[in-house]
Amino acid sequence: MTIHKEGYASLILTVLLLTAVHFLSQYLLESYPIARQIILIISIALFLIVLQFFRHPKRNLTQGDKLVIAPADGKVVVIEETEENEVFKDRRLQVSIFMSPVNVHVNRYPVEGKVSFSKYHPGLYLVAWHPKSSTENERTTVVVDKPSGVRVLMRQIAGALARRIVCYATEGKEVKQGEEMGFIKFGSRVDVFLPIGTKVNVELNQAVKGGVTVLAELN
């Protein structure tokens, strides 16, 4: 188990803040040892919570030319046909994964190919499972074109707690299936848009693992 590079700054800031709280409590609560112990226990718990959020476990990645692999850990909250109006401007099959604060928050490319579109959108911070979060929240849209011509769109969506989206995709970049696409801090959602007729291998409310679970099979 390692710590993701996106967590270094947050962990350092957390340590500095909790250290300051500790020394302040030692000074202000000198006559209240129980209160100081409670503050110390809470500080350690908070640090461990932040630490586990940025964990970056090693994975035996699933790969396959016809396979669409889950781009993130979490729970499947949407499986439906919908209109994709940003890039494709036609109907697509949408599969969405909600990531709670306890999930690993690394985002991965579900397919191999070339990035043909990558765009960041500022926006709102509705709860990530809200139907309008896909189009109104802060988000980043990435499209990967497979060598076969199939185009797969991924959308990183910030939630009520997630206030920073990190995306490594750049247009023209060749990417591998399971390679890191980015990171979203503190709870969020990832949408995947697939061609109509794609076979979906997951069900609503199913827990999936990024880079491992087969989300769907392309025709």
pLDDT bracket for residue 192 (50, 70, 90): very high
Same domain, 156 and 106: yes
Position 61 in a domain: no
Q: Is residue 86 part of a domain?
A: yes
Distance separating alpha carbons of residues 103 and 183, to the nearest angstrom: 12
Segment 64-77 shows an average pLDDT of 96
Residue 106 has φ and ψ, to the nearest 5°, of -75, 135
Write down the pLDDT at residue 26: 86
188 vs 64, higher pLDDT: 64
117 and 45 within one domain: no
Q: Which of 2-6, 37-41, 193-197 has the lowest mean pLDDT?
A: 2-6
- The answer to whether 96 and 191 have CB atoms below 8 angstroms apart is yes
Kindly state the average pLDDT of the residues 7-34.
88
Confidence band, pLDDT 50/70/90 cuts, at residue 131: low
**pLDDT confidence of 46, banded at 50, 70, 90?**
confident
DSSP states along 144-173: EE-TTS-EEEEEEEE-SS---EEE---TT-
Predicted local confidence at residue 140, as pLDDT: 94
Region 94-120 average pLDDT: 94
Statement: residue 130 has pLDDT above 70: no
In a domain, 185, yes or no: yes
What pLDDT is stored for residue 187 in this prediction?
A: 63
Same-domain pairing of 125 and 189? yes
31 is catalytic: no
Q: Are residues 180 and 199 in the same domain?
A: yes
Same domain assignment for residues 77 and 100: yes
Higher pLDDT pick, 160 / 54: 54
Same domain, 131 and 103: yes
Q: Are residues 121 and 198 in the same domain?
A: yes
The structure's pTM equals 0.83
Mean pLDDT of all residues in 127-144: 75
Same domain, 37 and 87: no
Q: Radius of gyration over alpha carbons of the chain, in Å?
A: 20
124: pLDDT confidence band, cut at 50, 70 and 90? low
Structural domain count, the chain: 2
Residues 163 and 113 placed together within one structural domain of the fold: yes
Residue tagged active-site, from 96, 118, 134, 188: 188
The answer, yes or no, to whether residue 127 has pLDDT greater than 70, is: no
- Give the CA-trace dihedral at 8, 14, 20, 21, to 10 degrees: -170
Instruction: Choose among 82, 108, 78: nearest CA to 96.
Output: 78
> Are 52 and 71 contained in the same domain?
no
Domain span at 32: 2-56
- 107 and 188 inside one domain: yes
Q: Please give the Cα distance from 19 to 9 (Å, whole number).
A: 15
Average pLDDT (66-71) is: 98
pLDDT band, residue 135 (cuts 50/70/90): low
Percent of the chain with pLDDT over 70: 90
